[in-house]
Amino acid sequence: MVNVRERLAHVQQQVIDRNPGESEFHQAVAEVLGCLGPVLERYPQYSEYKIIERICEPERQVIFRVPWEDDRGEIQINRGFRVQYNSALGPYKGGLRFHPSVYLGIVKFLGFEQVFKNALTGMPIGGGKGGADFDPKGKSDAEVMRFCQSFMTELYRYLGEYIDVPAGDIGVGGREIGFLFGQYKRLSGKYESGVLTGKNPAWGGALVRRESTGYGAVFFVDEMLRARDQSLEGKTCVVSGAGNVAIYTIEKTHQLGGKVVACSDSGGVVYDPEGIDLELVKRLKEVERRRIKDYVDYRRTAVFREEGNIWDIPCQVAIPAATQNELDAADARRLVAHGCLAVGEGANMPTTPAGIRVFEEAGVAFGPGKATNAGGVATSALEMQQNACRDSWTFQYTETRLREIMTGVHQRCWDTAAEFGHPGNYVVGANIAGFVRVAEAMLAFGLV
Ligand code: NDP
Ligand code: 2IT
């Protein structure tokens, strides 16, 4: 029998050869496969039934044309994607990203991560991801509506509450989910609430879903600190991004006694030593859809750095919540030198592999995205539950459920890491715990 290490290297090479040029996807696969050696040694049946090879290949990938007309009457063409990655544990579940950088490799990396993240929540959801290379920045509401309608006109035939349930991600928030749901309802001729999550609570959405990824990330970081007899109280924190995840990460950090002194967008970094004024960020970003540099027009204590690197700012807790590969080894070394104790990935794969190694070697508590940001999709699953029984829960009840789920995710990572000989290593714990749950279901289903 080929040894386990060789087998994993062979699968990784196959993934690279079969998916040329998709570097983010290769990176995500390498991170997971890098943790699976001890699992294959313990469970030879996973090799016999080629579970890893099967898990790396998406069940279905859809790529489609999205034509639409802009406000000047000019025709625009974008490319839409949906990768239905794995349905062993439930309907495909995962967000849609609208950003000019979107291509198949990004959607596949996100879909792959989503499979294990969703498994780790313990909830009945498979993994998928989608999106388009559409740039919502600077577009009017009418343009965004026409784009969403055209996107859904192609995608709707692949969706359903028992089939595939998208939600938001970068560039897709409440406004876009509204337009997408409206078009799905029109095309399908039915009010199928459970086909999308992240809906407005006024028409079928769940309270706390908007806040859930950020809140969940802070709950996870809080658990990591508690495991070291620490807490967020009085800690200086830095949160990158200024979107959905960043905003509610800042909100919960402040509620738990931490002080966030910096956030950012793709235009630069705001540093406010007095603590970020979150109501101002919400107004600028959620209501007026402006740039973060405008923050300093309203706060004398703050400075804006256009070319700034947010990881230069000293902090004890860092939560990257913008995008993939935004924190590299040099950034990690600076954070460590400044005394950073804990890093929780609010975004998906924001830390490079070399950055993760720096944190591991320095003994920094490091929560990978598939654990730390799992509160978003978990609350989406709670939204699906409410839709299925035509119910709606209170904010307080739902937030309590979210907290319990995040405590459970932390515990699963902690126990699994210890069981497989890497105590305190959340990357190992998350990858193995997520993988085993999917693998067991796949084994039970036979060769499908
Ligand atoms: P938003 O679109 O609401 O916000 C994204 C933020 O990140 C913006 O401030 C944006 O700045 C910045 N950003 C995005 N791309 C880049 C880039 N290439 N370079 C620099 N800055 C960038 O998205 P979300 O907050 O929803 O998502 C943030 C991250 O969290 C993503 O990695 C996403 O996959 C992940 N995530 C989201 C979940 C959710 O429920 N929404 C759940 C779990 C994970 P600008 O506006 O200037 O582009
Ligand atoms: O990356 C993610 O987990 C999300 N964008 C949320 C997915 C969801 O279905 O709520």
The two tokens of residue 149 are 């309608």
pLDDT of residue 2: 67
123 and 43 in a single domain? The answer is no
In a domain, 222, yes or no: yes
156 and 299 in a single domain? The answer is no
Question: In 127-246, where do the E strands start and end?
Answer: 127-132, 164-167, 236-239
In a domain, 230, yes or no: yes
Ligand 2 atom with the shortest distance to the CA of 165: 9
Ligand nearest to the CA of 166: 2
In a domain, 74, yes or no: yes
The answer to whether the beta carbons of residues 109 and 25 sit under 8 Å apart is yes
Q: Is 197 in the pocket of ligand 2 (CB under 6 A)?
A: yes
Q: Is 214 in the pocket of ligand 2 (CB under 6 A)?
A: no
Q: CB within 8 A of 184, min separation 6: which ones?
A: 152, 156, 159, 192, 195, 196
50 and 65 in a single domain? The answer is no
225 and 255 in a single domain? The answer is yes
368 and 246 in a single domain? The answer is yes
Residue 161 and residue 126: Cα distance in Å, rounded?
12
173 and 256 in a single domain? The answer is no
DSSP letter for 288, please.
S
Mutation to probe ligand 1, out of 107, 117, 245, 285 (largest number of atoms < 8 A from CB): 245
89 and 181 in a single domain? The answer is yes
The two tokens of residue 186 are 């029109």
Last residue of a domain, one of 340, 372, 404: 372
Ranges under pLDDT 70 in the chain: 1-2
Residues with CB under 6 A from ligand 1: 95, 99, 101, 168-171, 173, 213, 241-246, 265-267, 321-323, 346-348, 373, 376
Ligand 1 atom with the shortest distance to the CA of 350: 32
Last residue of a domain, one of 372, 394, 427: 372
In a domain, 427, yes or no: no
Ligand 1 atom with the shortest distance to the CA of 167: 40
**Catalytic pick among 129, 199, 285, 370:** 129
Residue 414 and residue 90: Cα distance in Å, rounded?
25
Last residue of a domain, one of 372, 401, 435: 372
Long-range (24+ apart) CB contacts under 8 A made by 295-299 are 295/270, 296/270, 299/272, 299/274
Residue 246 and residue 269: Cα distance in Å, rounded?
13
pLDDT of residue 445: 98
Residue type, 354: A
pLDDT of residue 442: 98
69 and 43 in a single domain? The answer is no
The answer to whether the beta carbons of residues 170 and 132 sit under 8 Å apart is no
Q: How far is the CA of 295 from the centre of ligand 1 (A)?
A: 18
Residue 198 and residue 380: Cα distance in Å, rounded?
7
75 and 135 in a single domain? The answer is yes
CA distances from 156 to 50, 165, 195, 351 (A): 32, 10, 10, 34
The answer to whether the beta carbons of residues 247 and 218 sit under 8 Å apart is no
Q: Which range marks the domain in which residue 12 is found?
A: 2-55
152 and 291 in a single domain? The answer is no
The answer to whether the beta carbons of residues 341 and 228 sit under 8 Å apart is yes
E strand or H helix at 246, and its extent?
helix 244-255
Ligand 1 atom with the shortest distance to the CA of 380: 40
The two tokens of residue 364 are 């920094």
361 and 236 in a single domain? The answer is yes
89 and 7 in a single domain? The answer is no
In a domain, 420, yes or no: no
Q: How far is the CA of 167 from the centre of ligand 2 (A)?
A: 6
In the β-sheet with 127-132, what is the strand arrangement from edge to edge? 60-69, 75-86, 127-132, 92-98, 164-167
Cα distance between the two ends of the chain:
25
The two tokens of residue 296 are 């300093």
As to burial, measured by CB atoms within 10 angstroms (0-12 exposed, 13-18 middle, 19+ buried), residue 249 is buried
pLDDT of residue 308: 87
- Reduced to 3 states (helix: H, G, I; strand: E, B; else coil), residue 249 is helix
In a domain, 388, yes or no: no
* Cα 420–Cα 318–Cα 210 angle in degrees, nearest 5: 90
Active site residue 129: yes
Q: Is 94 in the pocket of ligand 2 (CB under 6 A)?
A: yes
Q: How many CB atoms lie within 10 A of CB 445?
A: 10
* Cα 134–Cα 189–Cα 191 angle in degrees, nearest 5: 85
* Cα 158–Cα 402–Cα 155 angle in degrees, nearest 5: 10
The answer to whether the beta carbons of residues 83 and 58 sit under 8 Å apart is yes
Q: How far is the CA of 217 from the centre of ligand 1 (A)?
A: 14
- Give the count of domains, the chain: 3
Q: What is the CATH number of the domain that holds 260?
A: 3.40.50.720
In a domain, 406, yes or no: no
Global pTM reads 0.98
In a domain, 391, yes or no: no
Q: Is the dihedral of CA 351, 374, 169, 259 positive or negative?
A: negative
Closest CA to 246 of 300, 193, 292: 292
Dmax over CA atoms of the chain, in Å, equals 67
pLDDT digits 0-9 by tens, 273-294: 999 999 999 999 999 999 999 9
| Angle at which helices 353-362 and 23-33 cross, to 10° | 30
Q: What is the CATH number of the domain that holds 96?
A: 3.40.50.10860
